[in-house]
A = this chain, B = another copy of it.
Amino acid sequence: MKLSLSPAQTGIGYDKNCPMRDVLDCIGDRWSLLVLAYLSAGTLRFTELKRAIGDISQRMLSQTLRSLERDGYLSRHAYPTVPPKVEYTLTALGTSLLERVEPLLLWANENHAKVLKAREAYVPPPAAAPL
């Protein structure tokens, strides 16, 4: 079974010019996908997001939101009220990205057991396999 994403055809690589690496590097961090996923249900405020995720620090949430906004995955709307109110919403680009990520997430859910089983059964090779 041959896939069509061999590097020669897709241009994948660790070059900075590689689109896939660029995108993957940005959303492949600890929090980005999580934030996007939480926003898939609808607009949320900063504190709502923080409380929903639970174990993200204020610093990382802020930083992650900036990065996602910067790349166009979500939009930020600040109301000039006191106290301030800021809402974050997925853009069309963000939604479209999530739609592609979803199958991968579902796959992970379905196949996690297999991975765990493989890990359990795994015996590391004895440094330049004998026999």
Binding site for B on A (CB under 8 A): 1-8, 10-14, 19-20, 22-24, 26, 28, 30, 33-34, 37-38, 40-41, 52-56, 66, 69-72, 76, 78, 80, 84, 86, 93, 95-109, 111-112, 114-115, 117-119, 122, 124-125, 128-131
Contacts and interface: CB of A to CB of B under 8 A. Distances in A.
A40 B76 CA distance: 40
Interface SS of A by simple majority: helix
B23 A108 contact: yes
Contacts of A118: 70-72, 93
A84 to B, nearest CB: 6
Contact of A14 (B55, B71, B105, B124): B55
Contacts of A20: 105, 108-109, 112
B37 A6 contact: yes
A28 to B, nearest CB: 4
